[in-house]
Structure 1
Amino acid sequence: MTAFETVLGGMRRAALAGVLMLLAACQTPTDRLYTLSVLPGAGAAGATPAALALGSLELPPLVDRPQVVRRIDSNRVEALEFDRWAEPLADGLRATLAGDLAARLPGRNVLPVAGAAPGPGVAVLSVTILKFEGEANGRVVLDAHWTLGSGPRRRDTLEVQGASGEPAALVAAMSQAVALLADRVVAGR
């Protein structure tokens, strides 16, 4: 084998290694999908209706998107491109809140969607989420107005400290915040 052939063989191996490294770098990361989860109840129910229908539930546009959103500082947020909700957040939040309420109101009907005209004894819960964010330090804030039936409009600002600012930990802390909101609704305060 001549010196030229040796150099040419080395160049081919280097070129092949470069192509393989380039292909590995171009591989797209896979999406990680998250859902909120229903958590067990923490207290006794106050005076609650025989049946409860979850009526309107509004989310701020900042978080009503496919990506999990994490607040970086007071002026910046980041939409985590590969950390996504498995379903629209409003749908997942509605189902989770209904599940949390059902877990706290055994023997009572909890309807995830209010009908056009609920019957007697059915109270409608309306919720407006003002803020529902995870922060880079792991803290989650859920700020919501809610009304149950003809009762007064209430506002709760709930904070949960998650294990970290990583998406899985933030979603777990968000589930805890929704469970705390269900506790407040059931307690009637």
Structure 2
Amino acid sequence: MARQITPVICILVICVVAAVLAGCASPATRFYTLSTSTSTVAPASSLSISVGPVIVPAAVDRPEIVVILSPNQVRLEEFDRWASPLRDEISRVVAGNLVASLGTQRVTQSAGSSSADADYRVSIEVQRFDSTPGEAATLDAVWTLRRPSDSQSTTGRTSTREPVREPGYDGLAAAHSRALARLSQDIADAVRALAATSG
């Protein structure tokens, strides 16, 4: 004779299955962006600037935030990711910072070769973009500013290590944003210096 399954056993089975399924569920993925700086507002200008291309190291050119564990070891944070490709994030933030620093709305982003009709073009090669949660964000970037009208150019390097002030990956993204503000200010200073030499 077949055994009859009691309601209590049914409830126990349902609870066990629900617990197993809950244990198998993946954590929610969190997405982060970099932010522009609002600390500097310059007088209005008519300068036009093209930002790009931006090159980032292959090791961090991925959606996952890459965490530095040691000089020879990193960890990919599967559930903590950049909202868009890192080169696009960097280009967007630098462009936004230059709008404020130079007082011009005529700043564009260019993924390939820079815009042909811009007064100034800046390309950026990021050589280090290190993330150490709870400690610091490190940026090392070489940039080249060109003035197409007379082929004048200048090359600079921005190296900075910004301490993380807030916990979690929000704090890390904020530290990277401050590092990019420093990079943007160096580029803005170079634009002013080059503009001062124009006829």
* TM exceeding 0.5: yes
The alignment status of 1:85 with 2:87, answered yes or no, reads no
Give SS of 2:175's match.
helix
Contact in 1 for aligned 2:41/2:100 (Cα 8 Å) = no
- Count of aligned positions: 180
Change (3 A) 1:49 1:73: farther
Change (3 A) 1:29 1:108: closer
Contact in 1 for aligned 2:64/2:81 (Cα 8 Å) = yes
Query: TM-score, length-normalised on structure 2?
Result: 0.79
- Look up the equivalent residue of 1:171 and give its one-letter code: A
Aligned to 1:68: 65
Percent pairwise identity: 29
Deviation at 1:159, TM superposition (A): 1.2
The alignment status of 1:141 with 2:138, answered yes or no, reads yes
Aligned to 1:177: 179
Deviation at 1:41, TM superposition (A): 3.8
Deviation at 1:54, TM superposition (A): 1.0
Query: TM-score, length-normalised on structure 1?
Result: 0.82
What per-residue deviation string (whole Å, max 9, x for no partner) do you get for residues 7-61 of structure 1? x77655544332221111111212111111111144869xx98221113211001
Aligned to 2:49: 52
Q: Which of 1 and 2 has higher RCO (CA within 8 Å, sep 6+)? A: 1
- Look up the equivalent residue of 1:83 and give its one-letter code: D
Deviation at 1:63, TM superposition (A): 0.9
Give SS of 2:143's match.
strand
| Two-structure CA RMSD over aligned residues (Å) | 2.7
User: 21, 33, 36: which is aligned to 2:34?
Assistant: 36
Q: Which runs of 5+ in 1 are unaligned?
A: none
Contact in 2 for aligned 1:140/1:174 (Cα 8 Å) = yes
- Look up the equivalent residue of 2:170 and give its one-letter code: A
Contact in 2 for aligned 1:134/1:165 (Cα 8 Å) = no
What per-residue deviation string (whole Å, max 9, x for no partner) do you get for residues 72-131 of structure 1? 12111111101111111111211111011111111352122222x235xx1111110001
- Look up the equivalent residue of 1:118 and give its one-letter code: D
Deviation at 1:71, TM superposition (A): 0.9
Moved over 3 A (4+): 8-16, 41-45
Deviation at 1:170, TM superposition (A): 0.9
Contact in 2 for aligned 1:125/1:147 (Cα 8 Å) = yes
User: 2, 7, 19: which is aligned to 1:21?
Assistant: 19
Q: Which runs of 5+ in 2 are unaligned?
A: 147-151, 194-199
